[in-house]
Each structure stands twice: as structure tokens, then as C-alpha cells.
Structure 1
Amino acid sequence: MRAVVEAYARDGLFERWNVLLIATHVEGSMVRRLGAIVRAMTRFLSLNLSGQVLFTHIHAAAGGSFWRKSIFGLIARLFGHAVIFHLHSGHISGHIDRLPLVGQRIAGWVLSRFSCVVVLSEVWRTFVLRIAPTAEVAIVPNYVVLPTIEPVDPTPQLAEQALNLLFLGFVGSNKGVFELIPAVARARSAGYDVRLTIAGHGEVDKARRMAADLDVADAVSVIGWVDGERKLELLRAADVYILPSRNEGMPVSILEAMSWSIPVVATRVGGIPEMIDSGVEGLLVKPGDVESILDAILHLAADRHLLPFMGRAARRRVETEFSKDVVLPKIEAIYERLSRI
């Protein structure tokens, strides 16, 4: 969610529409978090009372984010303003489905109050309409800016070369890290020179211990959080991007990898099947399944000729469906329509 909002600001949406960003959450103690909410609400109410608000665009995740942001959205509606409620989290359906029936009905009622509910993919549109049949739902996927890169070399990678896998993101069970490391260990036991770089924050020490316990510490590099030029270096060096998450919305990290012409191995969850056709831009696997992840790794390690073809297909997919020039006009079309209400 943060990456999407930062991209909107970076690519001129805020400037063109005179958007004022109000953050409702900060990291830290309960007192600090409550203080942030109070400050955000005070500013929000002041703006609404001043008559300066044309419409409100709210970005929400699951859990507390959903309910906290819903309050802001409902207040904006009380002032008579149009509200875009933008859902980002892959956890949202699980969160709401686990609620008691009354909680699910309240969530559906809340979503139906907004002028437009924006979701990332068709699977989330179906979910929203299930709990809020009268809601107006628009699909606006995430996007990335296409980097300038050299054309993908069509020459197959030699089987003697290591297959370099890259994982970027939160290091934890929800992202499939603790199925990924055993899959790499088994691939190496089968005689394939597979190497994995894990970059991100989270359960970094646990991942390192697992790699050591499985005797693959020399092939699994857990390097912690990276950004900037170091992140670009990892993308340039990667043969395959791998993200075996148990649930997702529409991961920007996958789009970034695809924009760099990197084939992707990911799970059939959330909006991912709408980003990748298995066998074309990469391979889709079962979430939480070491065997499925292993099969994908072995398939690409054995058939290196697939990598450049999948990489080029991944880049084309981003160009045609998930680039700035394709996606930003969709959100601006919603802005245009709601500004006339």
C-alpha cells in the first residue's frame, strides 16, 4: 500500500489533483499510534469543515486498517463528499470471513456506503460484491515504472551455471519463506546448483537458522532489508524471482521483477493468477507446498532455455497491463467522474 501511494505522489497524481496526504498510522507504542490517529482526525475534520475537500481517496489494508479507515470514509460521506475506498491487502477476505455474521454484514454495509470501492483484481471484486452486492467496484491494478534495461539474451543459460533465485519481502511464514528454503535444499540434494538470496525484514534469524540446519547456508543468503542501488543489483543478478506467499493482493515486487524481464515463480493466491499465466511469464505453484515449489525450481533449473522467453513475456505483460501509462489513467478517470458529483 505504501509503495502504491508513493508511486502516485512520484508520478504526478498528487500534483495534478492537489492531493493532500494524511497518514493515520505510525510505528511505535500505543500512545504514539493513538496520537497519530487523533492528529489525522483533527486535520481531516478541519479540512472537511473548511469546504476545501472535493472527494476523499482512502487506502486501506485488512484488520485495524480497514475499520480505522472506514471511520474516516463514513465521516466524509456525512459531509456529503464522494469517497474512494481503495483495498490493498490480500488478507482482507480472510479477515472479514472470520468475523461473526454481524461483523460481516457491518463490513458489507460500510463498503456499500462509499462512492467507489477500488480493488486490485477480479478475485477481490468478486469478494466485495459477495458481501456488498450494491457496491460500485472498480479494478485498478498496481503498477510499476518500466526500467531501461538491455534486451534479454535469448541464449539459454548453461546448465553448469548456478540458477539464482531472488526473494524480496517480509521474511515469514505467510510469504512462504519456510517452504522455500527446504525446496532449495532438496533441489541442491538432487544435484542442481540453485542459489537463493532472501532480502527483507522479519524473521531473518529464523531463516538463517533453517538454512544452516538444512546444510545450505552457503547457498542461501539471508541479507536483511535492502533498497536503492543494492536492490537493483539483486534484480540484475536474478535468474528467477520467487514469492511463494500464502495470500496476497497484487505484489508490487512481482511486477518489479517482471519489469526487469525476470521470470516469476509464485503461488495461485489473490491477484497473482491475473498477473502471470503459468508457463508463459513464469510458473504458479500451490501455497504452503514444498513439493510444488521444488517442482517449479527443478523445471526451470533443468530447462534453462525457458528463462529468456519467460522473461520477455513478463516484461511485455507489465508494459501492456501494469505500467504507469496504463494504470494511472484508470485512477484519474475515477477522479474525473467523482469530481463532477
Structure 2
Amino acid sequence: MKIGHLVESLDPRGVAAALVDLAAAGGPEEIEMVVVALTPTAHPGVAAALARHGAQTVELNVAPWDPRAVLKVAEALREHGVDIVHTHEVRPDVVGSAAAARLKLPAVSTLHHVHDLPADRGDRIRRTAKVLARKRFMTRTIATSRLQRDWYRRVAGSTAGLSIVPDGAADPGVGTPEERARLRRGLGIGDDDVVAVSVAPMRRGQGQDMLLDALAELPSGEPVTVVLSGDGPLRPWLESRVAGDDMLSAHVRFRRHADPVDLLRAADVQLHTTRHDTMPRVLVQGQGAGVPAIATRVGGIPEIVTRDTGALVPVAASRIADELVRLVRDPQLRRRQGEAARARFLERFEAGGWARSLGAIYRSALGRADAPAPEELDAPETDRRPIGA
């Protein structure tokens, strides 16, 4: 099967980065991939990584509301002989469904967000219309979480044509003692310090400000260093706040260009203190590295982190501080939760399982004889299992 994935761009901070792991895992399912981006990016890393795993890439230059967008995408998909169109995010959904219809191909779409707080009545009407259009024109819609399933059901009225398939990730493996020691040397801290990392983008709503509030509440002398990785518009403000506070300066380090997976493999704890999120991939990667997590109980996060693999906390600095102190002081708890996190990743989120689930959906959309019936792929209307089970 040759699948044409349509994305906004090949930017490493976007959806396309996850498709690298899918390309690496898709061989046993006989999935060939063509990734078509509507807009070009200055970052060649994702395209190169996809190519290493046998996926082809096409970067178009389609401006918003370009009336030729559908024709350009259809031409690219036709040239590469795709069997199914798989779209990701809003503009690719619109353009991709029209291009698929033009080529008489089945179309699949993945929901990557939950639009549950519309600004006004007009916004609610527009978003409802998009969901109903998706239900009509897409062969199948994929929710990455039960949270998305519930939102979709409220708007569309049922889960017919909707499957739940969490995005997977390549197995990062568990870090070695040498990696942990190397990170500590680079941070200039002792071997006995606990290293907690946050690899969320530094932008509004991701909660690094609340994390700094939590660190300001730590008891004096706690042997913990928090690494804030990545970049974003809030980075200068975060750096300025840390530089101006002796307590924070003693506990916080910044690493702009560090590989998030490398940091997670060398960490003792992962921190993800966002105010809203759907199914953050970095938490899945942290589980794969065998790292316990402290995360806020928002969005789809309770479907990743459980009490066996870490701690779920309210959006409150004091509760984050309490759980961090608890993990810092209990190495045996960190070990148990890290082992449970690793096991959960292998069972639920490893990329091979992701590829198998998508393979079943693709075969069904193509009407293959060995495929499940469409209704077998539908998400249940309700789920009796508790979140995190």
C-alpha cells in the first residue's frame, strides 16, 4: 500500500516529525509512504530522515487560500501513485479530502487537536460544520485519544467511521549510566543530584512559568536540577526570570539545542506541566526511555501517564512541587515507576503497534479481503475502562 500523507510542512516541530517513526515501522505492514507538504521549510532534517526509511517527500509552495491547492496536491499524489490519502491538521484536511475525491481515492484523517472551547457561537458553528464535513468526505477519521473520541461524538452524534489509534513513537531505549553521568558533567552537578527535564516548547500554555513557581517552593537544599530544553517565544522571559532569582538559578539549566530523546534517556524524571494538551508525544517518548513523569491532569495526558508510571497533578505549582520532592527523595519509587513506564510504552505506544493499527485501517479503506469490516474499526461510544487503564 502506498499512503500519501498530507501535512502543512516538514518542520521538525510539527506532525511530520512523528511520521519518521511511522516510516521506520511500516515495513512489515507493507506500507510505503509519500509525505506531501503544502509549504516548504528551511529545516531539511525531517525530509532526510524520511528518505533514510524509504519514504518520498514533496514540498509544494501553496499559499493559504490558493485556489490551485487542490490541483497541485492531486498532481503530486497522482505522480507518486498513492492508494490512500492520509491528512493531518486543518488545511491539509480540506485540501486533501478534495484532492482525494478528484482522484477517486479513499481519504483518512487524523485528529491532532480538540477544539472544545470555541470563542463564540459563530466559531462553534464553523467547527461543527468542519466535523460534519469530515464525517461526510473522509473514509475514516482517527482520534488519538478517548478525549478526542468524546469530543467528536458530541459534535457528530456518533462514532461511526471513527477509530482510536494513539500516535506511536520509535523505541528510544533506556539510557545508560554513562549517558546519565555525561549529562551531569555537562550541567556541572554531582552524581547524586536528581535531573528532571522538561522538553515542551516554550510557548504560551505549556506551563514553564508554573514550573518555575513550583521550583521556588522547594525546600532548601533539595538535590534536584531541572533542565528546560527547546525554544520558543517565552524563552527570553524564562531565562530572565531564572537569572534574577538565586533560588531558581541554583536549580535550573537551559539547553536550547539538545536532542529531547537524548535528554530523556539521561534523566531521572520528566516534567510536563502544560495547561492544555491532547496526546503529547514527548511524554510517550519519556515512557519509552523508562522515565517516570510528573504531568498535569489535562487533555489526553491521563491516557499516557498513570499512577504506576508517574504522578498526575492539578494545574497548581504547589502540587507539582510536592510530587517532585517525593520523587527526588525516593529512588526506589523512581525505579519502579520507570520500569512501569517502559512496559506501558512497549505495550501501547511503540511504533510497530501504531503501524499495525493503521495498516488495518488502510486495508479496510481499500476493501481488501484480509481487512476488518469497517464497523469493527469504529471506536466504542463509551469506554468502561478507567482513564489510564
Equivalent residue in structure 2 for 1:143, among 164, 168, 190: 168
Give me the whole-angstrom Cα distance separating, in 2, the residues matched to 1:205 and 1:305: 37
CA distance in 2 between counterparts of 1:59 and 1:196 reads: 33
**Alignment CA distance shift 1:197-1:150 (3 Å):** closer
Asked whether 1:199 is paired with 2:229, we answer: yes
- State yes or no: 1:16 paired with 2:41: no
Q: 1:124 to 1:204 in 2, by over 3 A?
A: same
The more displaced of 103-112 and 10-19 is: 10-19
Q: Quick check: 1:25–1:37 contact (8 Å CA) kept in 2?
A: no
Closer, same or farther: CA 10–326 of 1 in aligned 2, 3 Å: closer
3-state SS, counterpart of residue 248 of structure 1 = coil
Sort the Cα spacing of 1:141 and 1:220 in 2 relative to 1 into closer, same or farther, 3 A. same
Aligned residues, how many? Answer: 320
Contact 1:23 1:40 in 2 (8 A): no
Is the aligned partner of 1:7 residue 2:38?
no
The amino acid that maps onto 2:309 is E
Deviates more, 1:217-226 or 1:99-108: 99-108
Listed one character per residue, the Cα deviations across residues 86-126 of structure 1 (whole Å, up to 9, x for unaligned) are 1123x533458875342133122222121111111111111
Deviations 1:40-86 (Å, cap 9, x if unpaired)? Answer: 644322256779442211111xxxxx145323214423543211011
Note if contact 1:47-1:53 (Cα within 8 Å) is conserved in structure 2: no
**Aligned partners of 1:321 and 1:233: how far apart in 2?**
22
Which amino acid is the alignment partner of residue 274 of structure 1?
E
Give the aligned CA root-mean-square deviation in angstroms: 3.0
Q: Does 1:214 pair with 2:245?
A: yes
CA contact (8 A) 2:279 2:301 kept: yes
**Could you say which structure has the higher helix fraction?**
1
**Runs of 5+ unmatched residues, structure 1:** 61-65, 153-159
1:193: how far off?
Answer: 2.2
Aligned partner of 1:283 among 298, 311, 327? 311
Cα contact 1:27–1:33 (8 A) shared by 2: no
Q: 1:74 to 1:36 in 2, by over 3 A?
A: closer
Bigger mean CA deviation after superposition, 126-135 or 253-262: 126-135
**Does 1:326 find its partner at 2:353?**
yes
Contact conserved, 2:194 with 2:224, CA < 8 A, in 1? Answer: yes
* Counterpart position of 2:149: 125
Q: Percent identity?
A: 23
Change (3 A) 1:186 1:39: farther
Distance in 2 (alpha carbons) for counterparts of 1:21 and 1:51: 10
Determine the C-alpha separation between the residues in 1 that align with 2:119 and 2:161: 19
The 8 Å contact of residues 270 and 292 in structure 2, kept in 1 or not, is answered as yes
CA separation of 1:226/1:290 partners in 2, compared to 1, >3 Å: closer, same or farther?
A: same
**TM-score using structure 2 length:** 0.73
The corresponding residue for 1:100 is 123
The gaps in structure 2 that reach 5 residues or longer are: 1-14, 43-60, 178-190, 369-389
Tell me the residue number matched to 2:87: 58
1:226 to 258, 272, 296: 258
The 2-side partners of 1:312 and 1:48 are apart by: 43
Aligned partners of 1:45 and 1:13: how far apart in 2?
A: 25
The DSSP-based 3-state class of the residue aligned with 1:85 is strand
